[in-house]
Structure 1
Amino acid sequence: MLENSNNNENPDFWNQEATKFVTKVNEVLHHHNGNGIKKVEVNFPLSSSHASDLDRWVAFTATSGSRTLNLILSGYHGMSATPDAERYSFPLKHFMDLRGCQLRILLLSMCSLESVSAKLSGFSYLDCLSLRRVSVVDSVVLNIMSSCRVLCQFSLQRCHQLISMRKSHAELVYLEVRNCKSLISISNYAERLECFSYKGHKVDIEYECAPILHRLHVFCVKNNECPLDFLVALPKLRSLTLQFPTYLQVHGNLQPPSKLKVIWPKKCTLRRLRTIHIRGFSGELELMRLLSFLLKRSPVLKKLVIDTHPHKYKAFSKWKRERSEDATRCNYTRGVALTHLPREIPSTVKFRVI
């Protein structure tokens, strides 16, 4: 992996490094028969100009019995090698009539996916699929999902061509959708779905069939786009995590802003909700009202955690807390929570402020 984050400013340097990388990989594969390989990972900013080599590497992985393929064709910060680089088109056609493929995990980053006319038999054992910064349309995603008969974990990140997604799958357990800027709606039809994580702008979220979903993570990117009205459709919800933008500016007398619009259902009882995490808490009056609402509507609640820091995504259900350098803001918001919330919290609820 190139450590020079400015390589896209020097095409000649980039071309030389890319040639060295491709040559080394080809030499290694030339002297390897594929036996015993469990994981193949390409982590280097390549593009369509290297399609023939990448196609061979993908074919090698598919026929070698490898369980994992990570194709990360981006540099640091998820950027392409050069501004005008055309994305590599991942060869789905290689998996159309591929019997015996053992691939379980597939991660694609900074490439494109085009439609195929048949089922992808090579994805029969795929149980974890992650698409990051991939150019792909709704119909292709649905076709891939229909071919992955045992798919359990599915993640979409920064796939900006997606518009209206209906996730229908009999075995899906974990679904994540993050920062897909053109997305309008998400419909979940997954009888075994247990956890749904969403980060981005306001979209219509509908649970056509999600009878056992019990973990929900919502990460809002705008203070005026935090709807929670879909909570009423989740009778089995046990754990709720909400992250809000930490926009509170601390000046003078530390007055919080008033323009926070959080919409929640007025007629809703979360009868099984046991854990609530609020991240990016900044002490706004409307957030305090939201917490008051959740406390009153959650009769079996056991744990409430207020975190003044935002969290950064790492992997499926794994987040790392980002420590804020604004100690004054954090101290102020902790004080708000500790001053006003304890009087509303039942003695049976474990309460923490971080």
Structure 2
Amino acid sequence: MARCRHYDNNAAPPPSSLPSVNGGGAARGDRRTKRPRACEEDDDCIGRLPDDVLIAIVSRLTIRDAVWRHLWKHAPRISLRPSHLVGDVAGIPSALRDNVARLAAAASSVLRHHSGAGLDRLVLALPLSPSTHGAVLDQSVEFAASAGARELHLSLAGGDHVEQHYDFPHWRFAGGQLRRLVLSDVGLEHQRGLDGLAQLTQLDLTRHPRRLRGPHRPRAQGVPPARPRGRLTGRPALESIAIESTTLLEFAYRGHKVGITYRHAPAVVRLIVMLVPASASECPLDCVASGAALPKLKQLFLQFPSPLQIQQLQLHHGRRFERLSQIVLFFKTPWREREHVASVASLLVAAPSVKELRVEAYSDLPAVPPQKKQTIQWPRHCSPKKLESIVLGGFSGEPELMELAFFLSQKSPAIRTLTVNALGEILTMKRLGLLGAGANNNNAIDDARRELDRFFDDIVDVKNFPALRDLFPAARELSDEELLAGRLP
């Protein structure tokens, strides 16, 4: 049995004899009494299966668990993560830093012993330093390129990037079949034209600026054939991205706000812009192009570091989102003013073809409800005729969200379903032990019940919502725990 030498002390060989998966009995129809056959070395019951079946089994195991079988060398997917290589210590930051050299050696050993034949995906997500472990990073990229991998994930998040910044050598994939590329804290330079990414259909760039400190100036990052510019503002910062690709289907960006130029992206169907709360004035809508630049855009995911407040000038007279079928909005800060929720409806004015709207709003209820509620000024021309589904996530009794759903249900003749994830974040915090049972939870539950009751009472009179009437009695009978975890279809 061939075994990766790095794991000789970490993984025990299989026992000399294992019980049969069928319980050890003779097969039906076999009347003869058979003496138990002595198992040879490295022989077990699943070992009798065809190699292609065994490879499929091994490919679903972590490297640490699968490395004792010689067929791991032919697994089509390799995932090199701390938890897959060093076990339990991966969850302890201090222990993880102490094992960086061990992680690098393990990754190098796996890549050196794998045949590379039939490789479909390679994931290397280790806190490596480019200055110290540059050889391992180059080895992983060369291995993926020579094996013809179709998907590559390369993440250095959590590593020490002070001395040097690692640039992805895209030219090594020239003539290859790379379809999906995910880079985290890795540069993507444009000096050679990005010819190696000609077949790319999905690109995901992630930056963690708080982890990238120091006086060095990073090289520019971007999207093919990007010509972004890097600037030094105390820490490395990406300033702009240019996109020009005829094959790119999905583009995702996470980080601080940057300027994104869409030179030519006729095939993009999904756009994801997740801004971090670096500045309260940043709006991801500024990172979305007009309909002419993204003619096939169907799905839009936006994360707002501050409450959404749309100005009509931002929508370019309703031409920016005219072909969208799904909009997903994430709000990570509380609403400042009640009228801000009207901006969601204003967004639908510019997206008349949307069929699904999802609003994930995670906020805290005020300790004392305001005595006088401000009137929400809804847009006059909001009539989403194709809207079929509304999803409210992270609901914790906000009347603004209920009024939004009520308003849209009145204006949408095609509406079919309403989904409310009631107090989903509070439940998650309770499960993690971050929130105990106390008066605040009870108040939140009472507020949620009151707003749901008011919403249901109002919506009964809506002619376009007959399917929801049977839901109202069951919703009012929810227990507290069901309300916390409630998902109302």
Q: How far off is 1:198 after superposition?
A: 0.7
User: Normalized per residue, which structure has more strand?
Assistant: 1
Q: How far off is 1:292 after superposition?
A: 2.9
1:91 paired with 2:169, answer yes
What residue in structure 2 maps to residue 304 of structure 1?
A: 418
1:62 paired with 2:180, answer no
In structure 2, what residue type is equivalent to 1:163? G
Q: 1:310–1:153: structure 2 CA closer, same or farther, 3 Å change rule?
A: farther
1:209-248 alpha-carbon deviations (Å, 9 max, x no partner): 5443111011112313653222111111111011222311
Q: Which structure 2 segments of 5+ residues have no match?
A: 1-81, 83-88, 210-217, 227-241, 476-485
Residue-pair matches, total: 328
Structure 1 residues 139-148 or 188-197, which shifts more? 139-148
In structure 2, what residue type is equivalent to 1:91? P
1:47-77 alpha-carbon deviations (Å, 9 max, x no partner): 2212233123112212211111111222xxx
In structure 1, what residue type is equivalent to 2:351? L
Q: Secondary structure at the match of 1:154?
A: strand
What residue in structure 2 maps to residue 342 of structure 1?
A: 456
CA distance in 2, matches of 1:349, 1:20: 59
Q: Which structure 1 segments of 5+ residues have no match?
A: 75-79, 313-320
Q: Residue 242 of structure 1: which of 326, 339, 359 is its match?
A: 359
What residue in structure 2 maps to residue 187 of structure 1?
A: 288
CA distance in 2, matches of 1:214, 1:279: 19
User: What does 1:198-277 align with in structure 2 at a 5 Å threshold?
Assistant: 198-201=302-305, 202=308, 208=319, 210-222=321-333, 223-224=335-336, 227-228=343-344, 229-249=346-366, 255=369, 264-277=378-391
Q: What's the TM-score once normalised by structure 1's chain length?
A: 0.78
Q: 1:28–1:161: structure 2 CA closer, same or farther, 3 Å change rule?
A: same
CA distance in 1, matches of 2:123, 2:129: 16
Counterpart contact for 2:187–2:219, Cα < 8 Å? no
Q: 1:166–1:257: structure 2 CA closer, same or farther, 3 Å change rule?
A: farther
User: What does 1:29-68 align with in structure 2 at a 5 Å threshold?
Assistant: 29-49=111-131, 50-68=133-151
What residue in structure 1 maps to residue 187 of structure 2?
A: 112
What residue in structure 2 maps to residue 72 of structure 1?
A: 155
Q: How far off is 1:137 after superposition?
A: 9.6
Counterpart contact for 2:244–2:264, Cα < 8 Å? no
Q: How far off is 1:163 after superposition?
A: 3.3
Q: Secondary structure at the match of 2:390?
A: strand
What residue in structure 1 maps to residue 232 of structure 2?
A: none
Q: 1:343–1:111: structure 2 CA closer, same or farther, 3 Å change rule?
A: same
Which of 1 and 2 has greater Rg? 2
Q: Secondary structure at the match of 1:59?
A: helix
CA distance in 2, matches of 1:257, 1:308: 24
In structure 2, what residue type is equivalent to 1:175? L
What residue in structure 2 maps to residue 315 of structure 1?
A: none
Q: What's the TM-score once normalised by structure 2's chain length?
A: 0.58
Counterpart contact for 1:138–1:163, Cα < 8 Å? no
CA distance in 2, matches of 1:263, 1:132: 37
CA distance in 2, matches of 1:133, 1:179: 11
